[in-house]
A and B are shown apart, each in its own frame.
Chain A
Amino acid sequence: LAKTTQPISMDSYEGQEVNITCSHNNIATNDYITWYQQFPSQGPRFIIQGYKTKVTNEVASLFIPADRKSSTLSLPRVSLSDTAVYYCLVGGGSSASKIIFGSGTRLSIRP
């Protein structure tokens, strides 16, 4: 099972770009990389998913280098409402048991 390593916490300010990097050295060929966001007292919410290179949606961008051993979630121009825990997941296929959330990165945005 591919495990992930993320920073425990990060701080930033409103209007800044925030980049959260996740290491997944044992990623398998058929694994995808997925990021979720979780606010207090809520369940996680899907942000973005990718396999290689770059993926962008209305919320974030995901950068994946050629070796796929890491990935970076990029949040442009953060606001106070982006304060949350962000989880990097690696897995794929049909077995949900391969989904491991880890402890996530606690992102705090200051005015």
Chain B
Amino acid sequence: GAGVSQTPSNKVTEKGKYVELRCDPISGHTALYWYRQSLGQGPEFLIYFQGTGAADDSGLPNDRFFAVRPEGSVSTLKIQRTERGDSAVYLCASSPISGGTLDTQYFGPGTRLTVL
């Protein structure tokens, strides 16, 4: 079946602009996660959705970052007033059950964001 997809695969923007990154999870997966990965580092947790609600957004670095999942499937990560330090690969993952390390997370290929 289809895996997790993310669009766009690459996004180049200018400092101060607004960007949206989209994640299509595996159909039927209730849990959805966003991570940010900088070069040479492991993925850094940002936010976790259980259904439509954000169950844990403690990883969002500041109020410029926001994510939604209005119908419990597709999710959008929104970044306002982008800064050069936001440049990274943004990964989305989904899992079929309730979240947490007990559940296998299926990752998408990521969106590489470059802020000039």
Please judge, given known A-B contacts A44-B107, A100-B45, whether A92 and B93 are in contact too, CB under 8 Å.
no
**Contact call A97/B102, Cβ cutoff below 8 A:** no
**Contact call B104/A49, Cβ cutoff below 8 A:** yes
Please judge, given known A-B contacts A43-B109, A91-B101, whether A96 and B56 are in contact too, CB under 8 Å.
yes
Which residues of B sit under 8 angstroms from A34, Cβ to Cβ?
101
B11 CB to nearest A CB, Å: 15
**B contacts with A, residue count (CB < 8 A):** 30
**A contacts with B, residue count (CB < 8 A):** 28
Partner of A103, one of B42, B56, B105: B42
**Contact call B101/A98, Cβ cutoff below 8 A:** yes
CA gap between A49 and B109 in the complex, in Å: 22
**Contact call B48/A32, Cβ cutoff below 8 A:** no
Main SS at interface, chain B: loop
**Contact call B100/A43, Cβ cutoff below 8 A:** no
Which residues of A sit under 8 angstroms from B51, Cβ to Cβ?
none
- Central interface residue in A31, A95, A99, by most chain B CB within 10 Å: A99
Which residues of B sit under 8 angstroms from A99, Cβ to Cβ?
45, 100-101
CA gap between A85 and B43 in the complex, in Å: 12
CA gap between A99 and B42 in the complex, in Å: 11
CA gap between A102 and B105 in the complex, in Å: 16
B95 CB to nearest A CB, Å: 9
**Contact call B40/A43, Cβ cutoff below 8 A:** no
Name B's A-contacting residues (CB within 8 A). Answer: 4, 31, 33, 35, 40-45, 48, 55-56, 58-59, 91-93, 98-102, 104-110
Name A's B-contacting residues (CB within 8 A). Answer: 31-32, 34, 41-46, 49, 85, 87, 89-104
Q: 4 other contacts beyond A92-B100, A95-B99, A98-B101, with CB at 8 A cut-off?
A: A93-B102, A96-B45, A101-B43, A103-B42
